Amino acid sequence: MSKIICSAAIRGAHKIVQRAEAEYQAAMEKWGPDQEIGFPNTAYYLPIIYGILGIGVKKLKDAKDVLDRCRSLLPDMVAEHVWLPYLAPALEAGMATFFAEEIIEAIRYLESPDYYTRTEGPADGNIWLGAADDVILRKRGVEFVDGTAPGFAAILGAPPTKEIAVQLAQELQEKNLYVFMCSDHEGRKMSELLVEEGVQIGWPTRLVSFGPEYTAAVFAMGFATRVAMSFGGIKPGDFTGNLIYNKDRVFAFAMPLGTVTDEWYANAAGAINWSFPTIADTPIPEILPTGICTYEHVVSNVPYDQLVSKAIEVRGLKVTVSEVPVPVSFGPAFEGERVRKDDLYLECGGPKSQAVEWVTTRDMDEVEDGKIELFGPDVDDVEEGSRLPLAIVCEFAGRKMEEDFEPILERQIHHFVNHTQGLMHIGQRDITWIRMSKAGRAKGLKLKHIGSVLHAKFHQEFGAIFDKVQIKLYTEQEKVRESVEEAKRSYEYRDARIEGMTDETTEMFYSCTLCQSFAPSHVCIISPERTGLCGAYNWMDCKASYEINATGPNQPVEKGECLDPKLGQWKGCNEFIYKASRGAIDHYSLYSLMHDPMTACGCFECVAAVLPICNGVMTVDRDYAGMTPCGMKFTTLAGTIGGGLSTPGFMGHSKYNITQKKWISADGGIKRLVWMPKSLKEEIGHRLKESSERVGIPELLDMIADETVGISEEEILPFLEEKGHPALSMDPILE
């Protein structure tokens, strides 16, 4: 921690404690030790003292112990030649500061009962509200718990102008934050500036003017401390519990505006105990390493137009966007809406122009959340029935953002754009195709609104995995071409990365229990090389799903000790399966059809079945309605093996999985595949070809029979013999 800050904070704390002691002494003499003191209408006494120390200060004499504690907490003043101190003494000094300030404010209530209004808003010309009573605490604290108000900004001092004051207040309000104000800078006070500009202040507008002095900062801290006791069930005196509750749940920060005095430093140091960082407009020293707070502790010299966004970032606060700001309706009901030729106003992509959508990750300081830019003409600049090239580039940044989330976020663009009335979206990546209808345009829809939609929806649905997103739309041919090139490089990199992942090098698999509503004992284990049998979830999707929703159906499964590398059984997986199937299934293999295959829910894209006479395996997908060589159609197979059972000789799997290396590898892998429907063969043909080459039988594809060869084992066997299918010479599949 910065030595300068620590020294200043400790200096400030000494001053404040001394002041408290002096005022206390005077009060004792005037009122006597049994005089009752406290904040109005609260069961929490002086709340910081009560919450942290467990001492309920009811009478003047009760404050004596507290002041003694302040003294013992106060570190010595820092001498010039000493390199220390570090964080701990400053934090203790900060704590002592708050205890002392609560006593100062309690004495103020005693000495000048009308100093504060004791109301929700300004009254009789007095704008200083003082401590929140318990009614306000309950009513407003609820908002802290349910997230309607994620936290507060404690502002000390004031910005240089009224305009900046109003702008800051509005910006904080827009983020649903409470603004707690106290103290002054060169006589200017934030609250007064707002009032002068005609801004309504008070609890109902979330602009709370606590008091004119720096000591009123304890009303903010006391509020946070009481929230933990009132809503978190934290007992008085459980200071660790209280501080951790605040770190995890109350998104607050200190925002000193103006010269940071020793007293302000002392208060800021105190707030760090609650994990509330300090964001300053002046060039004070920074404390960037993390430790107590979620991220940095003190960030300084921030321009006014960036103060709020910086504060939000440093405190780790998530942006919430409740409305999708477009002039047309938005919702899943419009997903299927078509924009036909006759309704068409503007077309981007498709057969006759180029369009691309691309999600990428940038550094935090390269992204300004909510910034939406269009380079090139928008819809109003072109004639009805026009075409424009289009590139949609979404730049994400976030402390939890990973490049692995890019494809998952990118796939959402399709849905979000489609949910917009008047827009139709087809395709993905560099084959994107967007149409805007005349009706949509008539309602004021612009291409730029695509950016607004994406910004709002990304925050609403995926806010957990990123902090900021800005969107750039290009409609100039050259720019679009450049974006396409850049995106293509990124696609290639991603594809290669996914392909390159193996089960061996991955410690964490994921579960999926989405289907337990109808297949109660079914648990999918999804590894990089065994994608979900429904085809909808691969390992990466599950990982992202878990990041977004930690209590959802996709949970991490530490695979643990490998019990059988050939069959694909791990201790950790089996334990998880046992628990998640509620005792119904205690183990299965990821790589085998014959030995304890994975359970099947019913949503599988394909079913593989053993063909004993051909010594091989067939697979059939949902779209093929005819008879198969195993004597059962897809629907019969589905009915036989679905419902959460492990059925040796049969297995549900995705289409993609067929060409993954681990597909029934324990039984011989793709070399066992003797029959599949023609349409499926064509659909995955090119990947199948690659797999064939991988196993050293490039002509395998032509050896696999389909319904044109036959739909019984007897019919296809001669074909297999003629082609010399490798399965025929493998070990017997039935032991």
Binding site for other proteins (CB under 8 A): 138-139, 141-148, 230-233, 249, 332-338, 424, 513, 516-520, 551-553, 579, 582-584, 594, 602, 609-610, 612-613, 622-623, 627, 629-632, 635-636, 639-640, 642-643, 647-650, 712-714, 734
CB of residue 66 vs other proteins: minimum separation in angstroms? Answer: 28
Nearer to other proteins, 42 or 647 (CB): 647
Whichever of 483 and 647 has its CB closer to other proteins, that residue is 647
Q: How far is the CB of 261 from other proteins (least distance, A)?
A: 37
* Smallest distance, other proteins to C-beta of residue 551, A: 5
Q: How far is the CB of 710 from other proteins (least distance, A)?
A: 12
Nearest CB to other proteins, comparing residues 311 and 424: 424
**Secondary structure (3-state) at 614:** coil
Quick one: 351 or 583, whose CB is closer to other proteins? 583
Letter string b/e over residues 119-149, b meaning 16 or more CB atoms within 10 A of that residue's CB: ebbbeeeebbbbbbbbebbeebbebbeeeeb
Tell me the C-alpha distance between 94 and 85, whole Å.
14
Cβ of residue 575: shortest distance to other proteins, in angstroms?
13
The answer to whether the beta carbons of residues 479 and 376 sit under 8 Å apart is yes
Nearest distance in Å: CB 516, other proteins: 6
550 contacts 674 by C-beta, under 8 angstroms = no
- Measured from the CB atom, is 195 or 252 closer to other proteins? 252
Residue type, 541: D
**How far apart are CB 700 and other proteins at their closest, in Å?**
24
Peptide bond into 85 cis (omega under 30): yes
Q: Which is nearer to other proteins, 69 or 522 (CB)?
A: 522
Q: Which is nearer to other proteins, 32 or 626 (CB)?
A: 626
Cβ nearer to other proteins, comparing 282 with 329: 329
Nearer Cβ to other proteins (435/530): 435
Rounded CA-CA distance 207/229 in Å is: 23
- Which candidate, 635, 717, 640, places its Cα nearest to that of 675? 717
Complex with other proteins: residue 59 or 249, whichever CB lies closer: 249
- Which position has the token pair 């489609």? 418
Nearest-10 crossing angle of helices 477-500, 406-418: 130
Return the ∠ at Cα 614 (arms to 608 and 616), rounded to 5°.
35
Residues in the chain: 735
Q: Which is nearer to other proteins, 348 or 519 (CB)?
A: 519
200/635 with CB nearer other proteins: 635
Nearer to other proteins, 159 or 236 (CB): 236
Distance CA(469)–CA(461), nearest Å, equals: 13
Minimum gap (Å) between residue 191 Cβ and other proteins: 27
Cα separation, 525 vs 510, whole angstroms: 6
Own/partner pairs, 85-89, CB within 8 angstroms, 24+ separation: 85/1, 85/3, 85/6, 85/7, 85/10, 86/1, 86/6, 87/1, 87/6, 87/272, 87/291, 87/292, 89/6, 89/10
Q: Closest CB to other proteins among 228 and 393?
A: 228
For residue 630, report the phi and psi dihedrals to the nearest 5 degrees.
Answer: -80, -5
Beta bridge partners of 524: 512
Convert 345-383 to b/e letters by CB count within 10 Å (16 or more is b). bbbbbbeebbbbbbbebeeeeebebbebebebeebeeee
At 257, phi and psi to the nearest 5? -115, 110
Minimum Å distance from CB 206 to other proteins?
17
What are the tokens at 95?
Answer: 């704590």
Report the alpha-carbon distance of residue 227 to residue 238 in Å, rounded.
Answer: 13
Structure tokens at 206: 């979330």
What is the nearest approach in angstroms of other proteins to the Cβ of residue 176?
Answer: 13
Torsion of CA 318, 323, 325, 331, to 10 degrees: 120
Q: Which lies closer to other proteins via its Cβ, residue 41 or residue 148?
A: 148
Q: At what angle do helices 87-111 and 63-73 cross, to 10 degrees?
A: 150
How far is Cα 490 from Cα 308, in angstroms, rounded to an integer? 33
Three-state secondary structure call for residue 126: strand
Q: What's the min distance (Å) between Cβ of 638 and other proteins?
A: 10
Least distance (Å) between residue 330 CB and other proteins: 12
Q: Taking phi first (over 0 means left), then psi (-120 to 50 degrees means alpha), and beta for anything else, what does residue 401 get?
A: beta
Q: Which two tokens stand for residue 733?
A: 């599949």
In the complex, minimum distance from the CB of residue 393 to other proteins, in angstroms, rounded to a whole number? 27
**Residue 435 CB, nearest approach to other proteins (Å):** 11
Q: Give the three-class secondary structure for 525.
A: strand
CB of 137 to other proteins, least distance (A): 9
